[in-house]
Amino acid sequence: MAWIVLVASGMLESVWAVALARSAGFTRPVPTVVFGLSLAASMAGLAYALRTIPVGTGYAVWVGVGAVLTAVVGIVALGESASLPRLISLVLVVAGIAGLKIFH
């Protein structure tokens, strides 16, 4: 259960990162509220997962999931570059996340 919560919390990290960018420095109310709620839920999930998953592994997975998903949102929805080196780098991050889970 802790791993499911950890991955979901990493996904929420992506939500709050995108909402933060869309909030225009906290001047737009809807993205600001989405940022705050998703940040709180993401942190709560991370805290729950770290009760059974070691902090080094848990934090790295949480950040990795959030980083990869945020980059994918940037590529798919925000017109960011999808260059081959960038995609290879994202695959390497996913491989690292998988390795942390496998060798936990």
Residue 40 · residue 12 · CB < 8 Å: no
Residue 57: give the domain boundaries. 2-102
pLDDT tens by residue, 30-55: 999 999 999 999 999 999 999 999 99
Which pLDDT value is given to residue 104? Answer: 83
- The number of distinct structural domains making up the chain is 1
Compute the mean pLDDT over every residue in the chain, rounded to the nearest whole number: 96
The tokens for 75 are 């590529």
Q: How far apart are CA 81 and CA 101, in angstroms?
A: 29
Does 16 score more than 90 pLDDT?
Answer: yes
Average pLDDT score over residue span 86-104: 95
pTM: 0.90
Q: If DSSP codes are grouped into helix, strand and coil, which group holds residue 17?
A: helix
Average pLDDT score over residue span 46-75: 97
Under DSSP, the state recorded for 104 is -
